[in-house]
Structure 1
């Protein structure tokens, strides 16, 4: 059953799910995913996965929003790129229930602002726990498209999926 809370995403989780053709997991896990316009621009710069992402947008699963350049935005932008900054600012300012982030620096900043975080591996893990995902196959697919996963994280994810 999809979560109905506010979910805000950065570029990487969406792009990587698109690259391994698992955007379907967003629909099964969330009612809606909010994407700052800057994140959408980053996604649209790439050909890979763009058609599937447009379909999610056109079917109202992805909501694209503007993010004001507030004092918080300026503060965070000193540490992160525009997409991550916009996602975290929107999440903080709208009391998001979950933020989809993969990059370490972005996660650090999000935790500093008490945001709940998951990333592409967390989404796959959720799917594995309900039988929608062969986690090992999907982790291998992520590695094949260039997503770096340490051997330790790979093993921990597989172990957690078996619990």
Structure 2
């Protein structure tokens, strides 16, 4: 079984667009750092996400990093990104799920394998779990930040595999 650590962004958006079920379908289990759980449960988070995190599915494991990384690169990141990168490094995770651009840059610089919400949706589409064009349309209706070129490329690649 692969060790997958998730930051707040991908979980947040997958819940919002109704596709959180792709995570256990793709990975069986996903580990959330405690800081990510706290961000998902924050009162400013949409109710649908707070409700989801309050009734944690069996396939989610909550972990606390032993000692947070404190170098200059990671100091610029939020609590969720910091703990996700720390935990992924500490546990030698196979994959880190993260959307935050600065966080992704730091994680890749540390040798971590990273994919974000759009990559997860594309992977699920390639496994026949969902329709990528429909999932991207739902994602566009949220406050998710994306590059249209990236979305178009993933759609093109997905259609080429169908």
Query: How does the TM-score come out when normalised to structure 1?
Result: 0.90
Q: Report what 2:89 is aligned to.
A: 92
Q: Report what 1:36 is aligned to.
A: 33
Compute the displacement of 1:133 (Å). Answer: 1.2
Deviations 1:60-113 (A, max 9, x none): 21101112334xx21154121110000000000110000000111111001111
Runs of 4 or more off by more than 4 Å in structure 1? Answer: none
List alignment gaps of at least 5 residues for structure 1.
none
Q: Report what 1:49 is aligned to.
A: 49
Compute the displacement of 1:151 (Å). Answer: 1.5
Compute the displacement of 1:139 (Å). Answer: 0.8
Deviations 1:19-45 (A, max 9, x none): 001011011001211011000000001
Looking at structure 1, the residues matched to 17 and 34 of structure 2 have their Cα atoms a distance apart, in angstroms, of 23
Q: Report what 1:67 is aligned to.
A: 65
Query: How does the TM-score come out when normalised to structure 2?
Result: 0.90
Could you tell me whether the CA contact under 8 Å between 1:37 and 1:66 is conserved in 2?
yes
Describe how 1:10-29 pairs up with structure 2 within 5 A. 10-29=7-26
- What RMSD over aligned residues (CA atoms) do the two structures have, in Å? 1.3
List alignment gaps of at least 5 residues for structure 2.
none
Q: Report what 1:152 is aligned to.
A: 149
